[in-house]
Amino acid sequence: MIRLSMPNLGDEEINAAAKIFRSGFLVHGEECERFENEIAHYLDVKYVVVVSSGTAALHLSLIALGIGKGDAVLVPDFTFPATVNAVELVGAVPVFVDVDPATYNITSANILKAVNTWEGKERISAIIPVHEFGCPADMTGIMAIAAEYDLKVIEDAACALGARHCQKSVGTFGDTGCFSFHPRKSITTGEGGAICTNKKNVAEKLRMLKNHGMSKKQGTTNFVLPGYNYRMTNVQGAIGRIQLRKLPDWIEKRRKLKKTYDLLLNDLDGVTIPKDVEGHTWQTYMIMISEVFDRNHVISVLRERGIESNIGAQSILSQEFYKKYDSLFPGILYSKRLFNQGIALPFCQTYDKKTLTVVGTELIKILRRCH
Ligand SMILES: *Cc1c(COP(=O)(O)O)cnc(C)c1O
């Protein structure tokens, strides 16, 4: 089976983890702090706080920025549900924004449309742009809108560590940027996540919130607010440090490799390939097939031929819990189309041109027959 993607862990990571297991310092420790410093250096940002997952990063960002009951938060409809779950979990309400069918990201025009048609009683006070599949969202446009409407900006860069917009790392434009180290993401620590920010007070709040509300100011330990346990383990920190060193090379490999799919699928009737945006890191390569094809059938035939593919991301409004909001957002169109017609193809820096050619060739055969 050609898997959708494979975590890329080698002896170095295994040995680093073993060393931590033998040391006896398993929970948050020096390796996490070093990992934080190295991520901060890589992103060129002042503070990084590592946490237990990308979801924890989003949840804590909203709390640290004071978003809760009475607030409304702009979110893309096309994303992984964690983006929107975090909004619900703090008692705020989501305001759904449609995405661009070429980049799969929200656009300034769509954000403004959502702001101007919002009729809820909650005040729109934040936005969570997602850098979907490693594609940098238009942070120039988004930051301008945020300034105009006084919005907090929480970047969901779960899939986009290393992606850049105008030569600047995504995650570093907003009040906070959230990353995930789940095995499907660009680097992995098993589970894990990180939050970056340039604001000292936000970083301090995040550190307390992830660690039971503990503050160690003035040499004494105090529990100054009700916090969570969203800590990353020292074992994960040690693994992450090694993964991070490999990331620049992996991003280059992905940028080269994705051209194999582009060449094979570009001129194919009924297939749309993802737009090549400057600074994209290609965590996922998702195509869209036209409505003349039954997408789920194509995925299952690929599977029969030993190729694992998947839907790319969800339309959140199409999910059971969120259907209650669907009638409020009649303009959401492309997100649903991408959810119903998108196919994420096997893609990983360890794959070669030959593997991708096999996948592309099989896909072409299947589409010809299904037409
Ligand atoms: C993976 C992902 C998350 C959640 O990250 P976890 O580490 O799995 O909690 C959030 N948002 C997006 C866009 C993601 O792709």
Q: Indicate which atom in ligand 1 lies nearest the CA of residue 185.
A: 1
Provide the pLDDT for residue 218. Answer: 78
Nearest to 316 by CA among 307, 326, 306: 326
Cβ–ligand 1 distance for 310 under 6 Å, the answer no
Closest CA to 48 of 219, 221, 232, 251: 232
pLDDT exceeds cutoff 80 at 370? no
In short, whether 76's Cβ falls inside 6 Å of ligand 1 is no
For the cut 80, the answer to whether the pLDDT of residue 146 exceeds it is: yes
Q: DSSP 3-state assignment of 195?
A: strand
What is the C-alpha separation between 220 and 322, in angstroms, rounded?
Answer: 45
- Averaged over 317-327, what is the pLDDT? 98
Letter string b/e over residues 240-275, b meaning 16 or more CB atoms within 10 A of that residue's CB: bbbbbebbeebbebbeebbebbeebbeebeebbbbe
d(CA 43, CA 24): 31
Q: Which two tokens stand for residue 156?
A: 């969901």
Tell me the C-alpha distance between 312 and 41, whole Å: 31
User: How far are the Cα atoms of 47, 175, 189, 192, 200 from residue 54, in angstroms, in the given order?
Assistant: 16, 16, 12, 7, 21
What would you report as the CA-atom Rg of the chain, rounded to the nearest whole angstrom? Answer: 21
Phi and psi for 321 in degrees, rounded to 5? -65, -35
Which ranges constitute the DSSP H helices of 65-179? 82-89, 108-117, 139-149
Query: Cα–chain-centroid distance for residue 147?
Result: 23
Ligand 1 atom 1, closest CA: 158
Any ligand 1 atom below 6 A from CB of 94: no
pLDDT in tens, 277-306: 999 999 999 999 999 999 999 999 999 999
The more confident residue out of 7 and 36 is 36
- What CA–CA distance (Å, rounded) separates 120 from 185? 35
How close is the Cα of 269 to the center of ligand 1, in Å? 32
Question: Burial of 89 by CB count in 10 Å (0-12 exposed, 13-18 middle, 19+ buried)?
Answer: middle
Q: What is the pLDDT of residue 371?
A: 62
pLDDT-derived band at 369 (thresholds 50, 70, 90) equals: confident
Nearest by Cα to 132 from 89, 95, 87, 82: 82
DSSP state of 103: T
Ligand 1 atom having least distance to the Cα of 82: 10
- pLDDT number for residue 219: 84
Q: Are residues 178 and 157 in contact, defined by beta-carbon separation less than 8 angstroms?
A: yes
What is the chain's mean pLDDT, rounded?
97
pLDDT digits (tens, 9 = 90+) for 31-74: 999 999 999 999 999 999 999 999 999 999 999 999 999 999 99
Q: Can you tell me the distance from the alpha carbon of 251 to that of 135, in angstroms, rounded to the nearest whole number?
A: 12
Q: Is the pTM of this model over 0.95?
A: yes
pLDDT 10s digits, 235-245: 999 999 999 99
**Residues forming beta bridges with residue 315, ordered by sequence position:** 78
CA nearest to 95, candidates 135, 131, 123: 123
Selected residue with higher pLDDT from 219 and 173: 173
Ligand 1 pocket, residue 54 CB under 6 Å: yes
Kindly give the distance from the C-alpha atom of residue 82 to the centroid of ligand 1, in angstroms, as a whole number.
Answer: 6
Rounded distance between C-alpha atoms, residue 168 and residue 109, angstroms: 22
* Six token digits for residue 35: 């990992």
How many whole angstroms from 155 Cα to the centroid of ligand 1?
12
Strands 314-315 vs 93-97: parallel, antiparallel or unpaired: unpaired
Burial class (CB in 10 A: 0-12, 13-18, 19+), 4: middle
Distance 177 CA to ligand 1 centre (A): 12
The answer to whether the CB of 75 falls within 8 A of the CB of 84 is yes
**Mean pLDDT (whole number) for 91-114:** 98
| Interhelix angle 234-265/30-43, nearest 10 degrees | 40
